[in-house]
Amino acid sequence: MKLFYLLFLAALIACGSDQHNTPGKQTMHTYTNHLISETSPYLLQHAHNPVDWYPWSEEAFKRAKEENKPIFLSIGYSACHWCHVMEEESFENEATAALMNKLFINIKVDREERPDVDQVYMKFVQFSTGSGGWPMSVFLTPDKKPFFGGTYFPPDDRYGRPGFKKLLTMVSDYYQNRKDELKKNLQQVDQAFQNALKESAGGQIADRKSFNSAAEQLSGFYEPDFGGIGSAPKFPAVQALTLFLRAHKNSGNQRYLDMVELTLKNMARGGIYDQLGGGFARYSVDKEWFAPHFEKMLYDNAQLANLYLDTYLVTKNAFYLNISNEILEFVRSEMTAPDGAFYSSFDADSEGEEGLFYLWTKDEIFDLLDKQSADIFCRRYDVRKEGNFEHKNILHISAGIEELARTYTRSQQEIKSLLEKAKTVLRKQRSKRIWPHLDKKIITAWNGLMLSAFARNYQVTGNENYKSVIEKNTVFLREKIFTGSELQHTYKDGQAKYSAYLDDYAALIQGLLDAYEALFDESYLRFAITLTDRVNERFWDLVQKGYFYTSSKQEKLIQRMKDDSDQSIPSGTGMMCLNLLRVNALTGGADLVRLAEQVFTKYGSEYVVNPYGYASHLNALDFYLEKPKEIILIIPPETSAEMLLKMLLKMVRSRYLPNKIVVVKSAGAEQESPVSAAILQNRDAVNGQPTAYVCHNFTCSLPVTTTEDLLKLLQ
């Protein structure tokens, strides 16, 4: 299909104008288009372009049919740097906009609001060009069928790409005057979709051999110098690293843990991590984790907070716990709404320049700190007079505390204290700068991931601030996102919009299960069960098995696609597999296990071929194969033994036990519980003490009331 794309582009160029296009001079006009009533910050950023933008709507498609015009579909998101570049170069240019308005009906989509639309047309761009990304630029017929597409197009011919104005003229001419070729093209696209979306026939259910082979296969893509999977640009690859932690636990193979530790240490010391404010950028443009693509996404930080926490539980190295805490403090202070919801992202740009908010000159630092503090800070974070990045400096750790203590003949504690004071001064000064744009759109899936991060961290640290975060976020999601018994995808400016997609359900169920095991509020478990039932009713493919990305009640696009492989976040299918197994373990629903088994059978052959794309499936498969430890803590009616209960819980929560469920119940409680009666049957407190039972693979221990005895059972 990529060959077809190249031939098609050549045909366009052959019939296109040879005129050299240059950006038109901008004039001070005020425009308002059809995006002005939207809630998406990304769409509102374009609401005053001279382009006559429409949101994705029947109104736009109706007009395209009536006027016999093709559609230009532009998809991006508010934190996307190159989206802003294309807007400035082309969409704010009056001459370009006039051409767009004359030749096309123009539709702008926020991929974070309409991931279903993005999913379909990204698949087209990927199989037709060999790659994809944002901004995504796709040309459609009025009945929504794509016939040409790409990503960023410059205003003039450069980078081996035609200038955007030239491309507009060529595509319009092709659509209007070469109908036979267009028809043939659309037939090829239909066939390519069928080939690209051809589903696995399945085979035998994946087993432990599959898991081990997949982990070994994935380790072959590990980059040994700085960690991570693959080379530049380098993404965090959280699900893959989580798989390595599980492989280490199962096999005792130190190599898997070493790969995780080297990666996480270098990431946390690199420029991809905000050394002053906490939180990770989206990815590193180099393999050293030095130069970030500066946007900060909620979903990355949610997953990384959990990964650093898990690595702490494995190693007991406080370094990892500290990073997890710093991530969550950043989110709590900078990305949390007053009502408890989590915002989506920080832009890469401020004042029109990528990363400007985060960069420093050496003179700035010496102006703010005393000389020795400035010297030590600059040595620690590689701040140079000439700059380490485009004449300024990205802060990254280049000198250890021990080295600085020796060099400056100070104690390590003195160095740490000095650096913390310096960071406080610089952080305060940085806060006075113009901040990157904060996208305050609330996305259900990403909130579910971050709810999970706070809940799991609370389980380990007992931080009461995080208890409050959990409670407020769950109230928001239940009251504002779950409207009229329907889960919604986004919330902004008082409006919940768009029916939820598979990953919204899956991530929220995961977050609720973790919140339940943090606070043991059974309303969280009931909500998770309700959502699980809804997913299985509306998203499950009764014919070919597996989950669709859209429900049976959502808008029908040109393709209804599955959500089987991991992208920036784990696939909805992978998350649902683990959810099914966890809900089953808590409630005893055997049908849920059978659904998970059908997924493991359907995609099992993919696990070794593409372990990176199916890592979330493999992590769920590990839970299935090992069978979870069922840890039941019974509280006696008396409250005098609360300290012992906390000690028993701490014993459970301080260990890396990825395949477990934890239930806390009051002895003699008669209220109806969603927890399986079989789990709680004959479970009583012994001698008036909090009592623990540990069951595994249909076998249960005798009751224990001491941390020492509980530790033996957990081991």
pLDDT of 667 over the 50 cut: yes
Which residue type, as a one-letter code, is found at position 91?
Answer: F
Whole-number pLDDT of residue 23: 33
Which residue type, as a one-letter code, is found at position 659?
Answer: N
Mean pLDDT, rounded, for 158-164: 81
Condensed to tens digits (0 to 9), the pLDDT of residues 190-216 reads 998 888 888 877 788 999 999 999 999
Condensed to tens digits (0 to 9), the pLDDT of residues 553-596 reads 999 999 999 999 999 999 999 999 999 999 999 998 779 999 99
Q: Which of 103-107, 440-444, 697-701 has the lowest mean pLDDT?
A: 697-701
pLDDT of 637 over the 90 cut: no
Q: Which of 208, 494, 142, 463 is nearest to 321 (CA)?
A: 463
Question: Which residue is it, tokens 């035609």?
Answer: 162
Whole-number pLDDT of residue 671: 66
Which is more confident, 4 or 353?
A: 353
Whole-number pLDDT of residue 42: 94
d(CA 195, CA 698): 44
Give the CA radius of gyration of the chain: 27
Mean pLDDT, rounded, for 631-639: 83
pLDDT of 101 over the 70 cut: yes
d(CA 161, CA 86): 14
Q: Which of 286, 277, 297, 341 is nearest to 80 (CA)?
A: 297
**18 — pLDDT class (breaks 50, 70, 90):** very low
What domains are there in the chain, each with its CATH number?
A: 2-196 (3.40.30.10), 356-435 (no CATH), 629-714 (3.40.30)
Mean pLDDT, rounded, for 651-672: 87
Mean pLDDT, rounded, for 112-123: 96
Condensed to tens digits (0 to 9), the pLDDT of residues 367-387 reads 999 999 999 999 999 999 999
Whole-number pLDDT of residue 639: 57
Residue 316, Ramachandran bin (φ over 0: left; ψ between -120 and 50: alpha; else beta)? left
Whole-number pLDDT of residue 462: 96
Structure tokens at 595: 């659904």
Please state, for a pLDDT cut of 70, what percent of the chain lies above it. Answer: 95
Q: Which residues pair with 487 in a beta bridge?
A: 482
Other CB atoms closer than 10 Å to residue 470's CB: what's the count? 23
Structure tokens at 601: 């059978």
The β-bridge relationship of strands 105-110 and 71-76 is parallel
Please state, for a pLDDT cut of 90, what percent of the chain lies above it. Answer: 83
d(CA 394, CA 270): 9
- Angle of the 115-129 helix axis to the 179-196 helix axis, nearest 10: 100
Q: Is the peptide bond before 135 cis (omega within 30 degrees of 0)?
A: yes
Q: Which of 464, 500, 456, 480 is nearest to 337 (CA)?
A: 480
Residue 179, burial from CB neighbour count under 10 angstroms (0-12, 13-18, 19+):
exposed
d(CA 126, CA 151): 10
Q: For the chain, how are helix, strand and coil distributed in percent, rounded to 5?
A: 50, 15, 35
Q: What DSSP element (H or E) covers 279? A: none
The answer to whether the Cα torsion of 397, 400, 403, 405 is positive or negative is: positive
**14 — pLDDT class (breaks 50, 70, 90):** very low
Mean pLDDT, rounded, for 285-307: 97
pLDDT of 140 over the 50 cut: yes
Condensed to tens digits (0 to 9), the pLDDT of residues 474-503 reads 999 999 999 878 999 999 999 999 999 999
Structure tokens at 673: 């519980």
pLDDT of 60 over the 70 cut: yes
Residue 93, burial from CB neighbour count under 10 angstroms (0-12, 13-18, 19+):
buried
Question: Which residue is it, tokens 């900060």?
Answer: 296
Is 492 in a helix, a strand, or coil? Answer: strand
Please say whether the beta carbons of 213 and 608 come within 8 A: yes
Mean pLDDT, rounded, for 168-175: 96
Is 382 in a helix, a strand, or coil? Answer: coil
Q: Which of 197, 142, 161, 473 is nearest to 328 (CA)?
A: 473
Other CB atoms closer than 10 Å to residue 614's CB: what's the count? 29
Q: Which of 169-183, 341-355, 456-470, 683-697 has the lowest mean pLDDT?
A: 683-697
**26 — pLDDT class (breaks 50, 70, 90):** very low
pLDDT of 669 over the 50 cut: yes
Condensed to tens digits (0 to 9), the pLDDT of residues 437-472 reads 999 999 999 999 999 999 999 999 999 999 999 999
Whole-number pLDDT of residue 533: 96
Q: Which of 70-74, 151-155, 514-518 has the lowest mean pLDDT?
A: 151-155
**17 — pLDDT class (breaks 50, 70, 90):** very low
Q: What is the mean pLDDT of the chain?
A: 92
pLDDT of 524 over the 90 cut: yes
Mean pLDDT, rounded, for 531-557: 95
Residue 379, burial from CB neighbour count under 10 angstroms (0-12, 13-18, 19+):
middle
DSSP notation for 111-152: TTT-HHHHHHHHHHHHHHHS---SSEEEEE-TTS-EEEEES-
Which is more confident, 221 or 24?
A: 221
Whole-number pLDDT of residue 645: 85
Please say whether the beta carbons of 81 and 295 come within 8 A: yes
